[in-house]
């Protein structure tokens, strides 16, 4: 199987799995799961010494997901700062204060 065919099959399987989980959750009265940010191959497992193991995932899909999440958090923070600053300016410019 070529890399493109395998990648297509994996994306199709992931989408089918998410659709199935959403159907099960909706039947239970639960909300649908959020859409995945990225599909791709990863390696995951326990890394470390016998007395200190850490479950981790590595790979391009993980790296992209972390980068997008960090950028989203920065955007949220900047939006909050701007909103707070605007509220302060509006409060300071009220007539009669």
CA-CA distance, 37 to 27, in Å (whole number)?
A: 24
Q: What is the mean pLDDT of the chain?
A: 80
pLDDT band at 3 (very low <50, low <70, confident <90, very high): low
**DSSP-derived secondary structure for 1-66:** --HHHHHHHHHHHHHHHHHHHHHHHHHTTPPPPPPPS-----EEEEEEETTEEEEEEESHHHHHHH
Burial class (CB in 10 A: 0-12, 13-18, 19+), 61: middle
Determine the pLDDT at residue 2: 63
Determine the pLDDT at residue 1: 58
Inform me whether the pLDDT recorded for 37 exceeds 60: no
Determine the pLDDT at residue 29: 92
CA-CA distance, 39 to 9, in Å (whole number)?
A: 12
pLDDT band at 97 (very low <50, low <70, confident <90, very high): low
For the full predicted model, state whether its pTM sits above 0.85. Answer: no
Instruction: Taking residues 3-25, report their average pLDDT.
Output: 80
pLDDT band at 28 (very low <50, low <70, confident <90, very high): very high
CA-CA distance, 97 to 95, in Å (whole number)?
A: 6
Determine the pLDDT at residue 71: 84
């Amino acid at each position: 199987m070529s890399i493109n065919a395998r990648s297509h099959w994996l994306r199709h399987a992931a989408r089918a799995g998410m659709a199935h989980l959403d159907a099960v959750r909706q039947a239970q009265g639960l909300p649908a799961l959020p859409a995945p940010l990225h599909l791709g191959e990863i390696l995951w497992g326990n890394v470390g010494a016998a007395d200190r193991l850490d479950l981790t995932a590595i790979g391009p899909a993980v790296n992209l997901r972390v980068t997008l999440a960090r950028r989203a958090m920065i955007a949220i923070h900047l939006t909050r700062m701007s909103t707070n600053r605007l509220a302060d300016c509006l409060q300071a410019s009220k007539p009669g204060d």
